[in-house]
A and B are shown apart, each in its own frame.
Chain A
Amino acid sequence: MAPDSPNSADNWRPTASLATLRLRAQLLARIRGFFAQRGVLEVETPLLSHAATTDPNLHSFLAQSLAPGDAPAAFYLQTSPEFAMKRLLAAGSAAIYQVAKVFRADEIGRLHNPEFTMIEWYRTDFDYHRLMTEVGELVAESIAGLRRLQPAEKLSYATAFLRHAGVDPHTASSRQFADAARSHGIAVAGLAEDDCDAWRDLLLTHVVEPQLGRERLTFLYDYPASAAALARVRPDDPPVAERFELYLDGIELANGFQELTDVDEQHRRFERDKRRRVEQGLAAIPSDQQLLAALAHGLPHCSGVALGLDRLLMCASGARSITDVLAFPFDRA
């Protein structure tokens, strides 16, 4: 995406039409109205932080002060406002939301821009199923008059996998995932034979996701425990992560959790991430001690979700690429 097109003299121009930019403003106004009506407090938290995500699949941008005399300390641009917002929840904020710019290095494509806008909110006393309902209401209200959708559907992750990929995502071996991928005509290079999670993600992205959210919102819920991220794991047999995602037009719009409140478990997940980062030769990242301190103090039971505003705008306007809804995508930034 380097600005080497023959029209590079035109690269100062926005890639979104003015009509789309007006639609973006309208969507944001509707979203703020939605939360105001429901008594959810808008907050702002730092974009630039001393700690960052340890997730080996997320790559942060590093920032550094250039002021003379400053020690060259490292700061990170957030990949999500999650940790800071949980500190507010632990401090007693109750329901909060944020319209946040987030940054993810190395994510660029038709549905990805390294800098994008997230609507993130937390509901104390909501379980994740109740939050899914609210996410559906927010999307419906924000795109009212722009898209007509069928009633939303909820599918467990297992149901979706069995239906579209023909394997049980909780019990299949990496070989079974690989066989299923082959039977769907997917040729892949570079996946370790025993990397079960990666094979499952391959099927999710290539086979399952394209079938989701056809003219309706599809909520996928109850993920394999190894894909819990920051969700609570319910000790069923097999154990499932109380996590959900929302799809429309095969595009993932939102990701939500029944939030993990157990500080010891959070600490273990940070340590496991750190080990994986070392194994994969990734940069070491300081884990967020302020989050651990907040969890130790006590995070109320809550559910939280992050919704991609740019992708919602794509679905509302029928845009094919995220660059169609951004004033200036990364290569023109």
Chain B
Amino acid sequence: MATYSTNEFKAGMKVMLDGDPASIVENEFVKPGKGQAFSRVKIRNLKTGRVIERTFKSGDTIEAADVVDVEMQYLYNDGQFWHFMQPENFEQVQADSTAIGDNAKWLKEQDTCIVTLWNGTPLTVEPPHTVLLTIVETDPGVRGDTSGGGGKPAKLETGAVVRVPLFVQQGERIKVNTRTGEYVSRA
């Protein structure tokens, strides 16, 4: 198994920490005027998403994690797993609800997501920054209202609920920012 020495540490590096895959967020080299040097890192556990601080004695090594980010197309949900395909070689993987987390509500068939694979198994799935989704349910708004002030809830085809301006109607396709969960525009 590959290892990294503290002097190779940099942001984004994927390593094994306490048995879990983790990603280095920030690495600070600290050293007293004379004496022992350290690498003080902020590191994200890729299973839990939690960021912790950990200090390593300079020169120590840590096991590399076989973690890669792959662009994959979302295919379908079979009720238990979400299935993704790598368009170049048609290889498929299935992600469980832990990997999908809150992002299930943004997944639309054919959309391209970034799937983080650990030893070939999805750890996390990142949906596109913005997605186009159809409104399946919303109260009829007041015609002529274009200010967008106030707004109303709208249920989208994936189950997500977002606030939309009053003039946007059921059946319309809208663009939504998946990071903030906010309506961007009509599609």
Contacts and interface: CB of A to CB of B under 8 A. Distances in A.
The answer to whether A binds B is yes
Interface of A: 1, 55, 57, 106-112, 185-191, 197-198, 201-202, 204-206, 209, 227, 229, 245, 252, 255
Interface string B27-46: 11111111111101000000
Contact of B35 (A112, A186, A201): A201
Interface residues of B, number: 25
Contacts of A108: 7, 29
Task: Please list the 8 inter-chain residue pairs (A to B) with the smallest Cβ-Cβ separation, ordered nearest first.
Answer: A109-B29, A190-B57, A190-B60, A255-B33, A201-B36, A201-B35, A188-B55, A198-B36
Given A57-B35, A186-B55, A187-B52, 7 more contacts: A108-B7, A108-B29, A109-B27, A109-B28, A185-B53, A201-B38, A227-B34
A252 B58 contact: no
A152 to B, nearest CB: 18
A206 B29 contact: no
B32 A201 contact: yes
Interface in B19-73: 27-38, 40, 52-60, 62
Contacts of B129: none
B10 interface: yes
Contacts of A206: 30, 38, 40, 55
Contacts of B40: 206
Nearest to B7: A106
A198 B33 CA distance: 13
A204 B60 CA distance: 20
A197 B36 contact: yes
Given A187-B52, A189-B57, A57 B34 contact: yes
B22 to A, nearest CB: 12
B68 to A, nearest CB: 17
Contacts of A245: 33
A204 B27 CA distance: 18
Contacts of B36: 57, 197-198, 201-202
A220 B147 CA distance: 63
A205 B58 contact: no
Nearest to A110: B28
29 contacts: A55-B34, A57-B34, A106-B7, A106-B59, A107-B37, A109-B27, A109-B29, A110-B28, A111-B30, A112-B31, A186-B53, A187-B54, A187-B55, A189-B54, A189-B55, A189-B56, A189-B60, A190-B56, A191-B57, A202-B38, A205-B32, A206-B38, A206-B40, A206-B55, A209-B32, A252-B32, A252-B33, A255-B33, A255-B34
A205 B34 contact: no
Contacts of A190: 56-57, 60
A107 B38 contact: no
A189 B33 CA distance: 21
A114 to B, nearest CB: 11
Nearest to B39: A109
A109 B57 contact: no
Nearest to A58: B34
Contacts of B27: 109
A143 B97 CA distance: 58
Contact of B38 (A197, A205, A229): A205
B35 A187 contact: no
Nearest to A187: B54
Nearest to B60: A190
Nearest to B55: A188
Nearest to B8: A2
B162 to A, nearest CB: 33
A201 B40 CA distance: 13
A110 B40 CA distance: 12
Contacts of A109: 27-30
A205 B10 CA distance: 20
Contacts of B58: 106
